[in-house]
Amino acid sequence: MPTISRGIRSNNPGNIDYNKANDWLGQLPFDPLIESRFARFDKPENGIRALGKLLRNYRAKYGLDTVKGLISRWAPSNENDTAAYVAAVESRIVKATCKPAGKLDLNSPVILGCLVRAIIQHENGSIPYPDAVIDEGVQRALA
């Protein structure tokens, strides 16, 4: 029987760190006996919403609008092989959009959805959700 990744088990497919200052929609109470570091959500759509909102916040607060800029903040090199992460996400975006992954319009549901899918794939090794679940989470992030 395959192991279900932490991000999928916690409905947090972006593996967003828990921060008591964040009051994400659908975020479950912190319980270090269940998960000592990462946020947990009531359903995947709300975890995906948080993922999308964070990416959009990176654009608004820090001016990040490229895969390299966004992923370098999302998955810093002190914890990740950030260069490999960037390459994997860029490759998925190019395949999905048939365009180079230059500046990203994070207000576009297509682009944000593509970026979210690439992060979910990289963080969890697969994308276990139907498109409707991801699309709903992305729409919530854009609202």
> pLDDT by residue (tens digit) across 28-64?
999 999 999 999 999 999 999 999 999 999 999 999 9
Residues paired with residue 17 on neighbouring β-strands, in sequence order:
38
| Nearest CA among 105, 114, 107 for reference residue 134 | 114
> pLDDT by residue (tens digit) across 61-71?
999 999 999 99
Give the chain's largest Cα–Cα span.
Answer: 44
The answer to whether the predicted template modeling score (pTM) of the entire model surpasses 0.85 is: yes
What confidence tier does 98 reach under pLDDT thresholds 50, 70, 90?
low
Mean predicted confidence (pLDDT) in 112-141: 97
Give the Cα separation of 92 and 35 in Å (integer). 30
Query: What residue ranges do the domains of the chain occupy?
Result: 43-142
Give the Cα separation of 75 and 73 in Å (integer). 6
The pair of three-digit structure tokens given for residue 94, joined into one six-digit string: 């190019």
Mean predicted confidence (pLDDT) in 108-133: 96
Q: Cβ(124)–Cβ(14) under 8 Å? A: no
